[in-house]
Amino acid sequence: MTYAAFRSIGAYIPPKIMTNADFEKIIDTSDEWITKRTGIKERRISEVDEASSDLGARAATIAIERAGIAKEDVDLVICATVTPDFLCMPSTACLIAAKVGLPPVMAFDISAACTGFVYAVSIAKAFIESGMKKNVLIIGAETYTSILDYTDRGTCFIFGDGAGAAIISATDNKNEAIIDVNCSSDGNYEDLIKTPGGGSKHPCSTEVLENKMACIKMKGNETFKLAVKTLTSDVQVMMKKHNLSNEDINHFIPHQANLRIIKAVGEALGFNDEQTVVTVHKYGNTSAASIPMAMNDAFEEGRIKAGDTVLFDAFGGGLTWGSALFKFSPKK
C-alpha cells in the first residue's frame, strides 16, 4: 500500500511592509479600526517586477531542499493561485517549475481561492496513492496587491502577498500518511467573494477597467458569518470521523483571513492559543498562500516537530472550503 506523507514546508515572505498607518494616508481609516475589525497590523507587498511565479519559485526551492530530494525527483507541480502571472496561459505552475530549474514535468494551476492549498494537498494525495506520482510539489502563491482597488476602504487593507510550498511524497509507512482531506464547494454563494471582470462573462473592456471589475469584491459581513459556521462544522465532521478530540491536535492552522474568525472558530472547536497558529496580524490575508505561510512560521519557530499532528482548515471564494489532517513527517 502506498501512502502520501507531508515531508516539508517552505515559504517566501516579501520584505516590503505596508502598515495600517500607510493606509491611513490613502483611505478614510485608522489603525484602531482595522485592528479591531480584522486583527491585521501589517501585510507584505511584492515588488513591481515580482509576479506570483517569482514568489512561488522561492518558496518551492526551500521546500525541495528541506525535503531532502533532488529537483529531478519532483514529478508533479501544482500551484494554487487566483493571481496567476497570466490570465489564461501559461500556468503559473509551469513558470515556477522552470524558475526552480526542474526538468520537464507535469504542472498545472488550480483555482479554489483561499482553500487552494488544501485542495492541492488533496490532489497530491490522490496522485500518490494511485501510484501515478512519487514526489509532488504543491504551492500557494499570491500577489493579491495586483487585484486590489485601493479606493475600496472595506477590502483593500485585508490582503497581502506571499507564497508557501510543500513536498508530498510516497511512503509505505502508514504512520507517516496524510490521514484525511475533505474539500467541498457551493457556487450558489458566488457573489460573496469574486472578481467580476476580466473573464469570459465580462471580458476586458473600457467598462471593466473604469469600474475596476477586475479587482476583488467582497461582502464582508455575510462572508464572516458563513465562514465561522462552515470552518467549524467542517472540522467537527473530520474529528468525529476519526474519533479525535481537540487534545489530539498539536497544531490547528486555519486560513488567515480575519482574527475574529480565527478566534470564533478556535473557541467553538475548543482549541487553545498554544494549539492555534496565527499570522494574520503580520501578513494579512494571503489567500492560497496563507496556510503554508503560517505553517512555515510555526516550523521555523520550532513549534512544529516531526510526528506532530496538524490540522488545516480553510474557506474561500467559490465558495470553497476544506480541511486536512496529517502527521508532519519530514524525511529522516
By three-state DSSP, how is residue 290 classified?
A: helix
If one counts every other C-beta atom within 10 angstroms of the C-beta of residue 260, the result is 16
**The dihedral of CA 31, 17, 94, 137: what is its sign?**
negative
Instruction: State the number of CA atoms in the 13 A half-sphere of 54 facing the CB.
Output: 11
The catalytic site residues sit at 114, 255, 285
User: Residue 68 is placed in which grid cell?
Assistant: 531532502
Judge whether 43 and 155 are in contact, CB under 8 Å: no
Query: Phi then psi for 154, rounded to 5 degrees?
Result: -90, -10
Which residues, in sequence order, are CB contacts of 155 under 8 Å at separation 6+? 148, 149, 216, 217, 218, 220
Residue 68's alpha-carbon distances to 32, 65, 77, 104, in angstroms, are 45, 5, 17, 20
Strand partners, 315: 321
One-character DSSP codes across 48-73: TT--HHHHHHHHHHHHHHHHT--GGG
**The dihedral of CA 74, 116, 84, 45: what is its sign?**
negative
Question: How many degrees, rounded to 5, is the angle at CA 322 between CA 270 and CA 8?
Answer: 90
User: Residue 8 is placed in which grid cell?
Assistant: 516539508
If one counts every other C-beta atom within 10 angstroms of the C-beta of residue 214, the result is 18
Judge whether 165 and 100 are in contact, CB under 8 Å: no
